Amino acid sequence: MNEDLILTKPIDADETLDTTGLFCPLPVVKTAEKIKALTVGTVLEVISDDGGIEADLPAWCEGYGHEYMGCLRDGPVWRLYVRKKTRD
């Protein structure tokens, strides 16, 4: 993981998606569904307790053209931030 993308405080997001209790691949699947409903430029906070999300979400963003803004670890939970960059 890129150390520059490990955050020390939350980012002010426009929308939040809580995927706690869901495991691979569901957090990314739910993120893809949610981001389709958002407008370009919207920042989405994804909350997850699946450790795989730390690698899976940046890879998904790269593959689909969205901006991965970083993650913050809060105990057993990750808070990850994505800015919608493309129209679906």
Angle among Cα 59, 64, 66 to the nearest 5 degrees reads 85
Query: In the chain, what are the domain boundaries?
Result: 3-83
CA atoms 8, 65, 42, 51: torsion sign: negative
pLDDT at 3: 63
Dist. CA 88–CA 72, nearest whole Å: 27
Please check the confidence at residue 37 and state whether its pLDDT lies above 90. Answer: yes
Average pLDDT over residues 57-72: 96
**Residue 87 — pLDDT band, cuts 50, 70, 90?**
confident
Residue range 9-24, pLDDT digits in tens: 999 999 999 999 999 9
Q: Determine contact, residues 14/25, Cβ cutoff 8 Å.
A: no
pTM: 0.93
Indicate if 61 belongs to the active site.
no
Q: Which of 11, 13, 24, 26 is catalytic?
A: 24
Fold observed for domain 3-83: Translation Initiation Factor IF3 (3.30.110)
Give the pLDDT of residue 2: 58
Residues in a beta bridge with 78: 48, 73
